């Protein structure tokens, strides 16, 4: 009898590889961490909306250049402005 030579082994290997790739993709996307921002319980409930809005507007840092940009933005932020606003509020409220 003549030995059969064919491509069935190659087809089976490709089929098994596709099945494994599909199972891996389903597992990856099913267990991918959620992009939702969790509620921060240490913040008072009336400020949760502000927290979530600020967290959603924040840029994500994925590379070193992003980190440098965020660092320069923080360095250039005017931190005395909040003190000016609080002092003005204190002055206004002291007149009551």
* N-to-C CA span, the chain: 109
- Contact (Cβ atoms closer than 8 angstroms) between residue 56 and residue 35: no
Q: Six-digit token pair at 66?
A: 């992003």
Burial of 52 (0-12, 13-18, 19+ CB in 10 A): middle
Predicted pLDDT at 61 = 77
Rounded CA separation 56/20 (Å): 36
Percent of the chain's residues with pLDDT above 70: 83
Q: What is the pTM of this model?
A: 0.33
Q: Can you tell me which residue has the tokens 């909040």?
A: 82
Predicted pLDDT at 33 = 63
1-54 per-position pLDDT tens digit: 567 677 788 899 999 999 999 999 998 888 776 556 666 677 777 777 777 777
């Amino acid at each position: 009898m003549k030995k059969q030579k064919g491509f069935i082994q190659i087809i089976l290997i490709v089929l098994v590889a596709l099945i494994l790739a599909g199972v891996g993709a389903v597992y990856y996307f099913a267990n991918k961490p959620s992009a939702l921002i969790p509620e921060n319980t240490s913040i008072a409930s009336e400020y949760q909306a502000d927290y979530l809005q600020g967290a959603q507007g924040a840029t994500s840092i994925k590379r070193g250049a992003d980190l440098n940009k965020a660092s320069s933005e923080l360095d250039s932020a005017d931190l005395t402005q909040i003190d000016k606003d609080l002092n003005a509020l204190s002055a206004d409220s002291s007149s009551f």
